[in-house]
């Protein structure tokens, strides 16, 4: 049976889709206290909804530069009723984190299936660079965590070398992936797609020392 599409008004969407143009004060952004985590390149927002549904204290900021995906993620958040705990900024995460996220203010950063940008001339668009890793280290609280998953073995090695060479990060076992028992019991949309295709998925996590 086809799922019924709920239409949300622009006012409702605006409760989730936020524009960040200056240093973020988390309590003001969310209107409540609580730990904050970032989902960088949140796509259609499955992880944002699953994570905040599991942990009612958690506040999550999704950062997504595609307007279409950011809107789809906002609709998913409204449908799940977690709009008080999730905000989504349509922005280049590299810029937003470097410019506007306060130091040591974030409990975890999640980067799931970052675009690999295969072509040589496009590789500079990759998210993981020494600058990005340094910014993640800056915004994480002590003992904060960085979680990464990708289906691209070559990019995985690049990421491990980049993050592993920073003395601020200590590798820890990644959390076990969801069982995949239902259509929504996956980490993210790309995780579901790739697991169903039988592709290997590479996961790594770090603790901010
Ligand atoms: C392959 S998709 C993965 C989406 C989601 N994390 C998932 O696993 O389903 C990569 C996402 O990252 C977004 N993205 C890539 N670079 C970005 C950047 N610099 N800032 C914000 N979003 C970015 C893309 O628009 C895309 O939605």
Query: Tens digit of pLDDT for each residue in 58-96?
Result: 999 999 999 999 999 999 999 999 999 999 999 999 999
Give Cβ neighbours of residue 78 (< 8 Å, ≥ 6 apart). Answer: 6, 8, 12, 13, 15, 16
The pLDDT value recorded for residue 97 is: 98
pLDDT over 80 (residue 111): yes
Average pLDDT over residues 10-34: 97
Q: How far is the CA of 169 from the centre of ligand 1 (A)?
A: 23
Give Cβ neighbours of residue 84 (< 8 Å, ≥ 6 apart). Answer: 30, 31, 32
Question: Does the beta carbon of 90 sit less than 6 angstroms from any atom of ligand 1?
Answer: no
Cα 177 to Cα 187: distance, rounded to the nearest angstrom: 7
4 pLDDT band, cuts 50/70/90, is: low
Two structure tokens written together for 128: 């993981």
Q: Give, for 112, the enclosing helix (H) or strand (E).
A: strand 106-112
Question: Does the beta carbon of 186 sit less than 6 angstroms from any atom of ligand 1?
Answer: no
Q: Which CATH class is domain 10-208?
A: alpha beta
Two structure tokens written together for 187: 């980490």
Cα 23 to Cα 202: distance, rounded to the nearest angstrom: 33
Cα 91 to Cα 135: distance, rounded to the nearest angstrom: 16
Instruction: Tell me which residues are annotated as active site.
Output: 115
Q: Give, for 13, the enclosing helix (H) or strand (E).
A: helix 10-14
For 168-190, the pLDDT digits (tens) are 999 999 999 999 999 999 999 99
Q: How far is the CA of 200 from the centre of ligand 1 (A)?
A: 19
Cα 12 to Cα 16: distance, rounded to the nearest angstrom: 7
Question: Does the beta carbon of 51 sit less than 6 angstroms from any atom of ligand 1?
Answer: no
* Domain boundary assignment for the chain: 10-208
122 pLDDT band, cuts 50/70/90, is: confident
Question: Does the beta carbon of 128 sit less than 6 angstroms from any atom of ligand 1?
Answer: no
Atom of ligand 1 nearest to the CA of 92: 20
């Amino acid at each position: 049976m086809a799922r019924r599409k709920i239409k949300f008004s622009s006012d409702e969407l605006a409760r989730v889709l936020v524009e960040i143009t200056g240093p973020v004060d988390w309590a003001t952004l969310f209107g409540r206290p609580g730990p904050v985590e970032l989902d960088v390149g949140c796509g259609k927002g499955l992880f944002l909804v699953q994570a905040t549904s599991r942990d009612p204290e958690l506040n999550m900021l999704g950062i997504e530069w595609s307007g279409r995906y950011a809107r789809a993620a906002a609709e998913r958040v409204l449908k799940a009723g977690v709009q008080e705990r999730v905000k989504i900024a349509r922005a280049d995460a590299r810029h937003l984190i470097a410019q506007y996220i306060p130091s040591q203010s974030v409990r975890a950063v999640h980067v799931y299936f970052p675009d690999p940008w295969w072509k040589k001339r496009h590789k500079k668009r990759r998210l993981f660079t020494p600058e990005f890793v340094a910014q993640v280290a800056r915004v994480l609280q002590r003992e904060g965590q960085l979680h990464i998953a990708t289906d691209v073995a070559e990019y995985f090695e690049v990421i491990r070398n980049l993050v592993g060479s920073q003395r601020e990060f200590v590798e820890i076992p990644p959390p076990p992936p969801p069982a995949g028992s239902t259509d929504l019991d996956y980490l993210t949309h790309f995780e579901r797609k790739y697991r169903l295709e039988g592709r290997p998925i590479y996961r790594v996590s770090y603790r901010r020392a």
